[in-house]
């Protein structure tokens, strides 16, 4: 062997060894972060290791394997999903809705078991999408949805993006001899954490896209998307609940299977319990019926299973459900009422949203008189008619949704709705882009878009012009009638957001408006004056550019520091900004490309509105909270919620709406509720407002 050949051989062996070690370490860190919620390295260190692995695999593409951490988001956009027949049907569960139902089920199990002793395992019923994960020779080969229980859709590329799904089995020790096992199947429930669900819906609402009705629908829709890169952005998760070896139950008891899955790197919900008696099961159900709101994911009940597999086999199954398991469903957060009419609201981007007008009804502690119908497609799917009785549902802080028509209660007097073809405000023909579910008014001068845009611009998360409510905006944007009724109507005082800054010169005309007066006018003008100093991030968010939410506006302002630099950025440059991406970049570039928008910015600048980051006294704020996640709960002594959030984010931190093991700090004030309780249970660091200020420097 020549010296050059020996060097090449040595280098090749060295690369192979480094690749193998990087994969092992990254898989371990994924397990610690996404399954155990106990990270041992920083995100920066992890990203550096992943970049190194990508570089090595680029140099040696022959060494790339399906279980490499670099392959989590490697699938191309699919044209569709192939079907796959489950080795063992994925049956649905019978439901019980009362303690009496549970006792009756337990009595039936005892009768069928003919005196053989058994106990139970109780698990939280995750409200998501059932999934089958199939492993051969220790690596993930296929992921299949439940489908109809017999056949499902192969969604392997999408499943790979879920970081809590192991691409290769973790070494769990010699618990079971696997030498004769060809396939290991692990079944679980894919779900969308509440925090991710709220973030997705908040961003979709800001962009005036249709929001998801609940996390279950969002998870199901996400898993059926054809582009795994989009799936990866949704932060789906999974809890695993069943283990099969070659299509049959793997171990003597269900409790053993849960332990095996945990040992081999699968994420099992930690709140399961071994229950010797049905009374223990009932106590578990009662406890979680009260504690369910403290979780970062939706549950709609408890699944109860006979623990011993031998007894499960004796009990058997019906055509639809196993006799050895049952779902105890919590009381639903739903109620029925009558749908009286549908209103069509036009938002600031022209999105036309149907809103159901309801016979008022009490739901989850509040009186509900209106509920979302999302869009024309959803109205058609539901088949709603005027006079229908419908079920409405409320999930967390999300607006109530119409989820089902009670067809059985129809009398024949109901009338069908026709979604408008013209804008209900300006009569412009509506358009529905092929790639969107939302119908829009394309008229840039639509009065409804102007009014919604003004309310958004003046909101407390944007320019903070207090006092500019719906009634006043309606007056400011409507033609004015002279009091003697003899003259032609005068043009409105405000035709776009820049006109707000001309109002100081029209004080007398302001005072003349209904229910205004000198004091109210002066208060409004003072607020407008203060808003000139709001700074680039608030202005950018207030402009209402599609897909640019509050956080994205802050990121863009800090990256470009001035509106002039942002306007000059190319689409490619925008897409490279952290957390921006191609869709948002295209929307921003298109907005700045329109002359009317550039003219609007020029008028705002001439009016003295700050177009860059606000200047601060003293040295720049240090990003001491970089990479840290905070949750705010209760009422702080001096800081408002928005002020505390801005304090944290300006120092590099992130504010989340829910508590989890990934939370670094919980800032608690007076009347802190379940979030504080959960933080204490997880032994998280709890801060006062003074602690927060001290840490922030």
Would you name the residues annotated as active-site residues? 125
> How far is the C-alpha of 673 from the C-alpha of 464, rounded, in Å?
29
The number of angstroms, rounded, from the C-alpha of 551 to the middle of its chain's C-alpha atoms is 15
* CA distance from start to end of the chain: 63
Burial 491-512, CB ≥16 within 10 A → b, else e: eebbebbbbbbebeeeeeebee
> How far is the C-alpha of 47 from the C-alpha of 68, rounded, in Å?
15
Tell me the β-bridge partners of 185.
Answer: 134, 244
> How far is the C-alpha of 589 from the C-alpha of 427, rounded, in Å?
29
Nearest to 268 by CA among 388, 165, 183, 174: 165
CA angle, corner 286, sides to 282 and 291, nearest 5? 145
> How far is the C-alpha of 349 from the C-alpha of 548, rounded, in Å?
12
Joined tokens for residue 397:
């802080």
The number of angstroms, rounded, from the C-alpha of 375 to the middle of its chain's C-alpha atoms is 19
Contact 311, 113 (CB under 8 A): yes
Contact 59, 66 (CB under 8 A): no
Joined tokens for residue 507:
């004080």
Contact 264, 258 (CB under 8 A): no
The DSSP code sequence of 49-116 is HHHHHHHHHHH-GGG--TTSGGGTT-PPPPS---EEE-SS--PPPPEE-SHHHHHHHHHHHHHHHTT-
Strand residue runs (E) in 610-664: 629-633, 654-656
CA angle, corner 230, sides to 135 and 213, nearest 5? 100
For 43-54, the three-class secondary structure string (H helix, E strand, C coil) is: HHHHHHHHHHHH
In which residue are the tokens 């409405």 written? Answer: 392
Where helices occur in 441-535 by DSSP H, the ranges are 447-458, 470-476, 507-511, 517-531
Joined tokens for residue 439:
């119908």
Contact 661, 682 (CB under 8 A): yes
Neighbours of 60 (CB within 10 A): 13
Tell me the β-bridge partners of 355.
Answer: 343, 372
Joined tokens for residue 101:
């139902």
> How far is the C-alpha of 315 from the C-alpha of 325, rounded, in Å?
10
How many residues comprise the chain? 697
> How far is the C-alpha of 73 from the C-alpha of 161, rounded, in Å?
6
* DSSP classification of residue 335: E
Contact 368, 564 (CB under 8 A): no
Tell me the β-bridge partners of 630.
Answer: 655, 665
Neighbours of 463 (CB within 10 A): 26
């Amino acid at each position: 062997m020549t010296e050059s050949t020996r060097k090449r051989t040595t280098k090749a062996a060295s690369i192979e060894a480094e690749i193998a070690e990087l994969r092992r370490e990254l898989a371990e860190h994924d397990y610690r972060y996404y399954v155990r919620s106990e990270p041992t390295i920083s995100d920066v260190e992890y990203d550096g290791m992943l970049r190194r692995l990508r570089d090595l695999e680029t140099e040696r593409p022959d060494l790339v394997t399906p279980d490499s951490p670099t392959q989590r988001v490697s699938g191309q956009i699919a044209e569709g999903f192939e079907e796959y027949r489950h080795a063992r049907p994925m049956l649905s569960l019978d439901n019980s809705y009362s303690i009496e139902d549970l006792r009756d089920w337990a009595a039936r199990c005892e009768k069928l078991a003919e005196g053989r002793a058994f106990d139970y395992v109780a698990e939280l019923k995750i409200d998501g999408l059932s999934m089958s994960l199939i492993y051969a020779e220790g690596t993930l080969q296929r992921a299949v949805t439940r489908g109809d229980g017999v056949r499902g859709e192969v969604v392997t590329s999408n499943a790979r993006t879920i970081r809590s799904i192991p691409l290769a089995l973790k070494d769990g020790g010699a618990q079971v001899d696997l030498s004769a096992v060809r396939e290991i199947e692990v079944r679980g429930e894919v779900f969308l954490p509440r925090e991710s669900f709220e973030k997705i819906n908040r961003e979709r609402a800001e962009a005036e896209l249709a929001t998801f009705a609940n996390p279950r629908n969002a998870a199901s829709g996400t898993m059926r998307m054809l582009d795994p890169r989009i799936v990866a952005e949704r932060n789906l998760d999974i809890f695993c609940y069943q283990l099969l070896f070659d299509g049959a139950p793997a171990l003597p008891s269900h409790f053993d299977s849960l332990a095996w899955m945990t040992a081999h790197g699968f994420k099992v919900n930690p709140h399961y319990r071994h229950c010797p008696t049905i009374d223990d099961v009932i106590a578990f159900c009662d406890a979680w019926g009260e504690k369910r709101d403290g979780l970062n994911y939706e549950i709609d009940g408890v699944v109860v299973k006979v623990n011993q597999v031998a007894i499960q086999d004796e009990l058997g199954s019906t055509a639809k459900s196993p006799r050895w398991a049952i779902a105890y469903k919590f009381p639903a957060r739903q109620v029925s009422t009558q749908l009286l009419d549908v209103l069509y609201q036009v938002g600031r981007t022209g999105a036309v949203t149907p809103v159901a007008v309801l016979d008022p009804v009490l739901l989850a502690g509040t009186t509900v008189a209106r509920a979302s119908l999302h869009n024309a497609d959803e109205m058609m799917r539901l088949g709603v008619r005027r006079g229908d009785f419908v079920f409405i549902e409320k999930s967390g802080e999300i607006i109530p949704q119409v989820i089902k028509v009670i067809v059985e209660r129809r009398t024949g007097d109901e009338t069908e709705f026709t979604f408008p073809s013209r804008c209900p405000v300006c009569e412009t023909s509506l358009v529905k882009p092929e790639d969107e579910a939302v119908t829009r008014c394309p008229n840039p001068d639509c009065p409804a878009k102007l009014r919604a845009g003004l309310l958004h611009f003046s909101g407390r998360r944007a320019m903070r012009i207090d006092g500019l409510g719906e009634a006043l905006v309606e007056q400011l944007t409507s033609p004015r009638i002279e009091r003697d009724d003899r003259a032609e109507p005068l043009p409105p005082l405000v035709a776009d957001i820049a006109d707000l800054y001309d109002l100081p010169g029209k004080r007398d005309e302001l005072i003349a408006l209904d229910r205004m007066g000198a004091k109210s006018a002066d208060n409004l003008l003072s607020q407008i004056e203060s808003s000139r100093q709001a700074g680039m991030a608030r202005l950018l968010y207030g402009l209402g550019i599609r897909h640019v939410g509050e956080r994205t506006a802050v990121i863009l302002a800090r990256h470009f520091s001035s509106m002039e630099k942002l306007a000059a950025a190319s689409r490619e440059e925008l897409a490279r900004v952290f957390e921006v991406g191609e869709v948002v970049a295209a929307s921003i570039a298109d907005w700045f490309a329109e002359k009317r928008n550039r003219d609007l910015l020029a008028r705002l600048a001439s009016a003295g509105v700050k177009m860059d980051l606000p200047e601060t006294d003293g040295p720049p704020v240090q990003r001491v909270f970089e990479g840290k996640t905070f949750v705010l709960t209760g009422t702080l002594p001096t800081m408002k919620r928005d002020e505390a959030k801005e304090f944290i984010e300006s120092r590099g931190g992130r504010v989340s709406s829910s508590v989890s093991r990934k939370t670094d700090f919980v800032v608690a004030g007076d009347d802190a509720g379940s979030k504080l309780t959960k933080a204490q249970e997880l032994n998280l660091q709890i801060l006062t407002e003074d602690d927060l200020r001290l840490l922030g420097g």
